[in-house]
Copies of this chain bind each other. A is one copy, B any other.
């Protein structure tokens, strides 16, 4: 298993567009590389004060199911150990003050970069979502309402939009739970289509963390749990971030 993770990093190293990625390799090896606690990662990820806009807040487009379940989880953040993750326009905002492994370091410029799941700024038309995380249980719930710009079959969310939402939630939780940074694989089985404008509840678990890999699972279903939309598993590669 580790061997494949290293192979993955080696492939990054050979990628001409990722200069200096060779320096990822040494950092993969020692177990002590993963030194940040989940708590410290969460508090860095969820700043109490920030000027950045949080997109994971209720708006007029949210359906009643989405709104009421959001309020329910917000209550749980007060006592039950759940944390609400803010959602900024770009991952660049989330990792402020942290240095990516050199192979992943993008040149900074003034382009209008957007995290894919925040690519559509019009309320209700694209990805509406909010992610909650329970650090000690290593569980997460993402409330996802796909808008009409995410269409696949007429009237239903594109399978790619659900896969994207799962990958994005996986990646945030993989990072917070174990410094998982890169998706190595996703395996998704679709069971039912999600009607545009309705709520899908994504229940995510960190299944195990082994050396350089982190294994996640997701069941996406309707709020009443009667309709399963998809089941997905994912494997992430752990790469430590440095303080800048």
Residues on A facing B (Cβ under 8 Å): 8, 11-12, 14-18, 90-92, 95, 100, 104-107, 111-117, 119-120, 125-126, 148-161, 163-165, 167-168, 171, 181-193, 195-196, 198, 226-228
The verdict on A227 contacting B186 (CB below 8 Å), with A152-B116, A155-B107 known, is no
Q: A95 contacts which chain B residues (CB < 8 A)?
A: 154
Whether B151 lies near A160 (C-beta < 8 A) is no
Whether B182 lies near A115 (C-beta < 8 A) is no
Q: A120 contacts which chain B residues (CB < 8 A)?
A: 119-120
How many copies make up the complex?
2
Whether A160 lies near B160 (C-beta < 8 A) is yes
- Can you spell out 15 A-B residue pairs with CB atoms less than 8 angstroms apart? A12-B192, A90-B154, A92-B154, A104-B153, A106-B156, A115-B158, A116-B160, A119-B150, A152-B168, A152-B171, A158-B168, A159-B167, A182-B193, A184-B189, A185-B188
Q: A226 contacts which chain B residues (CB < 8 A)?
A: 16
Whether A159 lies near B183 (C-beta < 8 A) is yes
Whether B190 lies near A113 (C-beta < 8 A) is no
CA distance A112 to B21 in the complex (A): 43
Q: A125 contacts which chain B residues (CB < 8 A)?
A: 112
Q: Which of A107, A117, A160, A185 has the most CB of B within 10 A?
A: A160
Q: A17 contacts which chain B residues (CB < 8 A)?
A: 195, 198, 227
Partner of A164, one of B112, B126, B153, B161: B161
CA distance A141 to B163 in the complex (A): 22
CA distance A100 to B153 in the complex (A): 9
Partner of A163, one of B12, B15, B155, B167: B167
Closest residue to A167 on the B side, CB-wise?
Answer: B160
CA distance A243 to B158 in the complex (A): 24
Q: A161 contacts which chain B residues (CB < 8 A)?
A: 116, 164
The verdict on A15 contacting B116 (CB below 8 Å), with A158-B168, A163-B167, A171-B152 known, is no
